[in-house]
Structure 1
């Protein structure tokens, strides 16, 4: 089987952690089929009066590069940020069409998988229309939770989903959203993300804290992710204040960066808990396992999620998860591996953290709870969906 995998969420040499979960999947899929990766990115001049690090990095990504043995093609397309949002897929499609046609002559693809419904899947649907290739569209989270409900995008996404040969999503919650949109249930397959067990496994807590130079005698709560509105970190900071008032002297480490960093720091200061909230900034993915090993609890208070890998990684390290009841999280976290709460409910989160601190958790049992969530298992599921899609198109 010759597979063409298309997504803008894939690592580059300038941003090696971008879409790292897609790289993990692609590596495992190579055991089942020949994988070619297309990572379309916006074109932005390398020399510009407009200083925007993110967009200027795109211009420095080569049109072809290799990462962990996988050949990646990165066609560029013109995009004006924000202004072009509703025609983003059409602009991407023009660039993809030329690149896909050229690569198809070389590799004779049997099936195309696009990851991220907008703009990627919509663009792919347009780009491969004349090639009549089976198309498996994959929804990952916000592309369904948010993009599907935005004016100007809804119709484009629904038209693409109806035309696709098959659909995969990372949680039953996302599948139900699509079923509510009148898409047939038998067209949608739930395939959760996987966990890299070589990196995320049981580690000795004190050794990890020693490596990171953290205190040994205080409960540590860890958040890993983007500092943005949908992650609802304000809820965690407010809940932390309640914990401290109830004489639980915890330390919260926030790993990641984003547009709310200054605002969140000001919130912590105004609540007089700035010494308990530590902003670590972006941390290399290779260090995440050590951080999870060092923590007592992972907290993910998001308003919306798909299948967050950090949840699987924390559980793999044997650490209990306190998270909002959204996306695939209720499918993964059990009463023996964590506590779920209502999104944006400060009091409920504070009580959940307090309960977690007073619970005797079994790290071994927590780690065993995610043994079935391997990337190898996920790749097998994807392969079966691809194989079925090829049969339907024959």
Structure 2
């Protein structure tokens, strides 16, 4: 049986990159400890299976040394000014999948005579973020108090995502890589990202996050599109003292979701509630910590009160108090694919611009599932 000469350092790198302990992976690959020490070498079939298990491109394992992988977009994640950690395969694969989706739609729109989106990259860092937040609100057609009239956080997320797609921005929410439920995305690693473009901007929200947090991430990443600054967001981005871009986007998103005038009006009653920030959160369909941060920014509460509440909230959140639940398969697909993107892909396939195999690859849906989803969008394929 032919053994493959592979650098043990690459095997260790690939396993650590996938964030899998050696003892866990050794359940499937009994000789893994020996491979990593260079005492024995895997067969070609074993190496292929190993690459699939750790989600690493097979060719990487034949390099002389581990590659220096860098994120294809700016990294705005911060944790108390410490260095950002290496991206996981799940994040990297998600980023590349969304970039492929964006590249296809951009080319498709340009070929069909689309005009650039006027709002994309229309703002600057020296613009008032509050004013830009109100501008975004007008562009989306959000009426005053709209969130209070929505039944649940899930409905609010769906409505906001629908409005975002109506103005031409792909809005994707997914908690796994594609449709692979075994590859869950980590909220601890990132909450969302924005891919800017004048024709096909895209925002991605980590669907593993709580619905109330998804609301703010949608708004935050949309502010990135207005600013023309693509990048990855996450960690404790709501705390004061982040990067200039993140602080600006936070302020614009806060005004979009929790307008200062409406908050001041609600505060007089909410402040008397047992849980004032929870009351505000329910009214505006945001998380309690977003409501508290907004109250601090408007000087309705002291900074010390915000940080005291923030510590309690994050302690509760880390214990599992804020999690996302699953949903109907086709509702999930609508969030993972999006009506904006799916409509263009399905139309291109029906018009002969692309084959159905390419349409399947672009959407991640195949055969009957693809046909049924198209039907849900009101498009009959047969």
TM range (shorter): under 0.3
Higher alpha-carbon Rg: 2
Using structure 2 for the length normalisation, give the TM-score: 0.23
The structure that is strand-richer by fraction is 1
Using structure 1 for the length normalisation, give the TM-score: 0.23
The structure that is helix-richer by fraction is 2
